[in-house]
């Protein structure tokens, strides 16, 4: 997967930018505030159809301007596609080769990006929502069916919560519960299937990054009791039956994959509670690398890797071992104020401050 050309108009602090990229990628360097991260964000916007940092597109429009526009040429599986994304008058418009898409998720079939952000540390330090978002996006990038299951699940969850706030009939609740359990079980099975592939790669890579000193384990934590002798769907259904009075009293759904968690352990200690900042940082970077490996296996082409200076807080040994794990099959983009950290990468170096001042 490659992006060969990027054009930007009035996106964040970038008034105008146009650049052809080499197949290997590039390092954007310069002082803080020059727009390095904004360039990375523009590339990733074409992959996800939204900002990885802001909830609202209106925050992305250059100050005093009316709209932003991004255009990028990507190649994937020997095909070239031009993705254009814009927001004008608070309306999002995304096109693939000039044709407007109806769902943002359509981009997942054309652009494969793994974004390494400083905020990724919340995957370990933050609450369960961060870990659910990680695994849901990771699976969705290669499985449109899973994405559809997620949409359906949250639609049913919303209906079920509304039902619990009303004077419902028994048959109506049974009908919604049947659908809820069916889709919820499919999501859990998909997540556990992904983790079965994810965990061995993560354990192996993290062991290497730690200097072969720390062992990693990962557990999927259900929001309801499970048994190896009982199907997930049966465990799920039995638990919902047991907590029905609690759900009616609180008027919301108290079990399901929207409440599950993923527990990371380093040497049998929960990383969220006992891991150092260096351990957590190297763990989330390693998790992103394994995410990229799985995308490559499923799509037969390596995704674009985007690094927002995530190695800066690591000790030299861990940072070097992470860089050793990066293969040449990826196109890599890095933003950093300290280019010396990335000397080993044979990538085009772009002094963003000088480049933008030339415009």
How many CA atoms lie within 13 Å of 329's alpha carbon, on the beta-carbon side?
13
Taking CA atoms, 146 is separated from 302, 310, 315, in Å, by 21, 29, 38
Q: State how far the Cα of 82 lies from the Cα of 74, in Å rounded to an integer.
A: 6
Phi, psi of 313, deg, nearest 5: -90, 0
Q: What CATH code is assigned to 1-112+301-359? A: 3.40.50.300
Q: What is the pLDDT of residues 39-63, one digit of tens each?
A: 999 999 999 999 888 778 888 888 7
Sequence-ordered strand ranges (E) for 103-145: 113-116
Give the integer Cα–Cα distance in Å for 291 and 305.
11
243: helix, strand or coil: coil
Check if the beta carbon of residue 243 is closer than 8 Å to that of residue 139: no
- Rounded Cα–Cα distance for residues 28 and 36 (Å): 6
Contact call for residues 238 and 177 (beta carbons, < 8 A): no
Between residues 191 and 340, which one has the greater pLDDT?
A: 191
Q: What is the spatial distance between Cα 266 and Cα 279, in angstroms, rounded to a whole number?
A: 8
Mean pLDDT of 81-91: 90
Q: Which residue has the tokens 């099959």?
A: 329
Model pLDDT, residue 52: 87
Separation of alpha carbons 217 and 257, rounded Å:
21
CATH of the domain spanning 126-300, picked from 3.90.180.10, 3.40.50.2020, 1.20.1050.90, 1.10.260.40: 1.20.1050.90
pLDDT given at position 175: 95
Question: Mean pLDDT, the chain, as a whole number?
Answer: 92
pLDDT-wise least confident of 64-68, 103-107, 139-143, 307-311: 64-68
Confidence of residue 30 (pLDDT cuts 50, 70, 90): confident
Helix (H, G, I), strand (E, B) or coil at 322: helix
Confidence of residue 229 (pLDDT cuts 50, 70, 90): low
Chain position carrying tokens 């957590």: 280
Q: What's the confidence (pLDDT) of residue 253?
A: 97
pLDDT at 179: 97
Domain ranges for the chain, please list them: 1-112+301-359, 126-300
What local confidence, expressed as pLDDT, does residue 343 receive? 81
Mind spelling out the 3-state secondary structure of 204-233?
HHHHHHCCCCCCEEEEEECCCCCCCCCCHH
- Reported pTM: 0.92
In this prediction, residues 269-293 reach a mean pLDDT of 96
Instruction: Compute the distance between CA of residue 54 and CA of residue 118 in angstroms, rounded to an integer.
Output: 14
Contact 129, 228 (CB under 8 A): no
pLDDT of residue 58: 82
Give the whole-angstrom CA distance, residue 291 versus residue 183: 24
Is the pLDDT at 356 greater than 80? The verdict is no
Residue 77: is its pLDDT beyond 60? yes
């Amino acid at each position: 997967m490659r992006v060969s050309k990027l054009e930007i108009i009035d996106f964040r602090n970038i008034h105008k930018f146009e650049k052809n990229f080499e197949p290997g990628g590039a390092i954007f360097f310069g002082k803080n505030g020059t727009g390095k991260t904004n360039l990375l964000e523009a590339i990733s916007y074409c992959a996800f159809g939204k900002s990885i940092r802001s909830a609202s597109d209106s925050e992305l429009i250059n100050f005093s301007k009316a709209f932003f526009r991004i255009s990028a040429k990507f190649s994937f599986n020997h095909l070239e596609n031009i993705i254009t994304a814009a927001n004008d008058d608070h309306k999002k418009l995304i096109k693939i080769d000039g044709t407007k898409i109806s769902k943002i998720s359509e981009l997942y079939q054309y652009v494969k990006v793994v974004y390494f952000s400083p905020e990724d540390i919340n995957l370990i330090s933050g609450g369960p929502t961060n870990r659910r978002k990680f695994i849901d996006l990771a699976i969705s990038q290669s499985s449109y069916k899973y994405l559809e299951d997620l949409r359906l699940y949250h639609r049913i969850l919303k209906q079920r919560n509304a039902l619990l706030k009303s004077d419902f009939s028994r048959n109506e609740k049974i009908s919604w519960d049947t659908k809820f359990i069916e889709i919820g079980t499919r999501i859990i099975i998909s997540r556990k299937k992904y983790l079965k592939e994810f965990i061995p790669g993560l354990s192996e890579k993290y062991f290497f990054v730690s200097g072969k000193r720390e062992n990693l384990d990962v557990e999927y934590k259900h929001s309801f009791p499970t048994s190896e002798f009982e199907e997930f769907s049966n465990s799920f259904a039995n638990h919902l039956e047991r907590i029905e009075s609690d759900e009616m009293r609180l008027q919301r759904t108290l079990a399901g994959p929207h409440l599950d968690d993923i527990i990371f352990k380093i040497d049998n200690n929960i990383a969220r509670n006992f891991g150092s900042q260096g351990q957590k940082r190297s763990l989330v970077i390693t998790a992103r690398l394994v995410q990229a490996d799985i995308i490559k296996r499923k799509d037969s082409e390596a995704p674009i890797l985007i690094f927002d200076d995530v190695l800066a807080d690591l000790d030299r040994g861990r940072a070097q071992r992470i860089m050793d794990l990066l293969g040449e099959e990826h196109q890599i983009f890095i933003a950093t104020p300290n280019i010396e950290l990335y000397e080993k990468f044979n990538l085009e170096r772009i002094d963003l401050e000088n480049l933008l001042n030339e415009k």
